[in-house]
Amino acid sequence: MVPNVDSYNRKITYLRVSVTDRCNLRCIYCTPVKNLKLLDHADILSYEEILKVIRVATELGINKVRLTGGEPLHRRNFTHLVESVCLIPRIEDVSITTNGVFLKEMARPLFEAGVHRINVSLDTLNPLKYTKLTRRECFDAVGEGIQVAETGGFSPIKVNVVGIRGLNDDELLRFADFSVRKPYHIRFIEYMPIGRDLNWTTEKYVSSDEMKSKLKTFGPLLKIPPSIHDGPAERYRFESAKGEIGFISALSHHFCPSCNRIRLTADGKLRPCLFADDEVDIKSPLRNGYGHEHLKKVFQQAIARKPRRHHAEILEKREGLRPMSTIGG
Ligand code: SAM
C-alpha cells in the first residue's frame, strides 16, 4: 500500500491544521454565538503535538500545510509554530488562512518566520456590512493588515469571499474592480452547509456559475491556465487587472475526485472529509505515549477513511456537525 494513497487512488499531500477553535470574530455564517462550546485549553493540541503530527504526515507524503483556525493569529506565539513548520524537511509549501485583523502587527514576523502565502477572509468591502457580518468593528484593521502584507512581500495574497445571497451578492462588481486595482487573488467560495445553528439555506446559496455570469457584466473574464498551487480554484482575470478572480465550487462542481486534503482539528482529530463528521483521534495516541510508527498508522487509517465523494446535500438535515470555526475551512 502506498502510504498516502487513499481507497480511491487519490494521493493525499495536503494537511490543513486548525491551531485553535477560538476566533476574535463572530461571523454569522461561521461561528455560532448561541451554544458555542469552546474547547478546554487542555484539549487543544500543543504546538509540540501539532509539530509531531506534521512530521509524521511528511513521512507519509504530505508536503503542503495550511495553518488555520478559529483564528490562527489569535493563538499565542503563533509565529513560533510557523517558524517550526517551515523548518520541517519535506514541507514544501506553508500557508495561512486568517481573518486579517492582526496582520498589521504580524505580517512581518510571519514573513520572516518563512510563510509567504496568505489567504485573508474578507466577505464585504462595506464597513457597516462587515460589522453586521462579523459582529465586530475590525474592517479598517483588515484593510491595513492586507496592505502591510502586500508591502511586506506576501505573494500571492488571496482574499476569500464567501458568496451569500442577500449579504454580499450585490458586491460582486466591487470585488471585480478591487481585483483590477490590487494585485490580490479574489477567491469566491460557495457557501457550504456546515455547522448546526448557522441557518444555511438554499436561498442564501449562490453558485459560482451565477457569480461568474454577474462578474461577466464587468468585463470579459480571461481564463488563467492552472498551476500547481491552484488547488480546486478555477482562475480568471479581467483585462489589465493587477489581480485575479477565482471560484471554488465545492457544491456545484464536485472536486472530490482530485481531493488531496486531510484536516487536523484543534482538538487532535484527523478529519478525512470537510463535509463528514467521521474523525480519527490522533490526540489520545499522542498523549498516551505511542511512538512514531503507531502515529503513522493512525494517520494512514484517516487517509483510508476518505469517502469517495462528499455528501454536502444531506448536511442541512443533520445534527451535530461541527461549525466551520472549529474545523478550519
Ligand atoms: N479565522 C480564519 C479566517 O477567517 O479565515 C480561518 C478560519 S475560517 C473558518 C476559514 C474560512 O472558512 C474563511 O474564509 C471562512 O469564510 C470560510 N467559511 C466559514 N464558514 C463557511 C461556510 N459555511 N461556507 C464556506 N466557507 C466558509
Report percent pLDDT > 90 for the chain: 81
Report percent pLDDT > 70 for the chain: 96
Q: Whose CA is nearest to atom 20 of ligand 1?
A: 30
**Mean pLDDT for the stretch of residues 144-163:** 97
Contacts of 293 (CB under 8 A, 6+ apart): none
Q: Does residue 162 contact residue 191 with C-beta atoms inside 8 Å?
A: yes
Distance from the alpha carbon of residue 90 to the mean position of ligand 1, in angstroms:
27
Distance from the alpha carbon of residue 293 to the mean position of ligand 1, in angstroms:
33
Residues facing 142 on adjacent strands = none
**Mean pLDDT for the stretch of residues 16-40:** 92
Write down the pLDDT at residue 196.
65
**Mean pLDDT for the stretch of residues 137-153:** 98
Cα separation, 170 vs 236, in Å, equals 20
Mutate to test the pocket of ligand 1, among 31, 36, 97, 164 (most ligand atoms within 8 A of CB): 97
**Mean pLDDT for the stretch of residues 118-143:** 98
Helix, strand, coil share of the chain (percent; to 5)? 35, 20, 45
- Within 6 A (CB) of ligand 1 lie 23, 29-30, 68-69, 71, 97-99, 121, 160, 162, 189, 191-192, 194, 324-325, 328-329
Q: Whose CA is nearest to atom 17 of ligand 1?
A: 329
Write down the pLDDT at residue 317.
55
pTM for the predicted model, two decimal places:
0.96
The DSSP symbol for 33 reads S
Write down the pLDDT at residue 314.
61
Distance from the alpha carbon of residue 31 to the mean position of ligand 1, in angstroms:
9
Distance from the alpha carbon of residue 191 to the mean position of ligand 1, in angstroms:
9
Distance from the alpha carbon of residue 67 to the mean position of ligand 1, in angstroms:
13
Q: Whose CA is nearest to atom 5 of ligand 1?
A: 98
Atom of ligand 1 nearest to the CA of 327: 9
Q: Tens digit of pLDDT for each residue in 56-105?
A: 999 999 999 999 999 999 999 999 999 999 999 999 999 999 999 999 99
Cα separation, 94 vs 67, in Å, equals 8
Cα separation, 54 vs 88, in Å, equals 8
Atom of ligand 1 nearest to the CA of 194: 23
Q: Tens digit of pLDDT for each residue in 209-224?
A: 999 999 999 999 999 9
**Mean pLDDT for the stretch of residues 204-208:** 95
Q: Does residue 326 have a pLDDT over 90?
A: no
Distance from the alpha carbon of residue 21 to the mean position of ligand 1, in angstroms:
12
Distance from the alpha carbon of residue 192 to the mean position of ligand 1, in angstroms:
10
Distance from the alpha carbon of residue 160 to the mean position of ligand 1, in angstroms:
8
**Mean pLDDT for the stretch of residues 109-132:** 98
Distance from the alpha carbon of residue 329 to the mean position of ligand 1, in angstroms:
5
The whole-chain average pLDDT of the chain stands at 93
CATH class (in words) of the domain with range 14-327: alpha beta
Q: Does residue 311 have a pLDDT over 60?
A: yes
Cα separation, 237 vs 222, in Å, equals 5
Write down the pLDDT at residue 312.
72
Distance from the alpha carbon of residue 288 to the mean position of ligand 1, in angstroms:
32
What are the boundaries of each domain within the chain? 14-327
Cell (9 digits) for 134? 462579523
Write down the pLDDT at residue 37.
86
Mutate to test the pocket of ligand 1, among 25, 134, 160, 247 (most ligand atoms within 8 A of CB): 160
Q: Does residue 299 have a pLDDT over 80?
A: yes
Q: Does residue 306 contact residue 7 with C-beta atoms inside 8 Å?
A: yes
**Residue whose cell numbers read 483585462:** 239
Label residue 197 by pLDDT band (50, 70, 90): low
For residue 218, the one-letter residue type is F
Mutate to test the pocket of ligand 1, among 110, 121, 164 (most ligand atoms within 8 A of CB): 121
Q: Whose CA is nearest to atom 22 of ligand 1?
A: 192
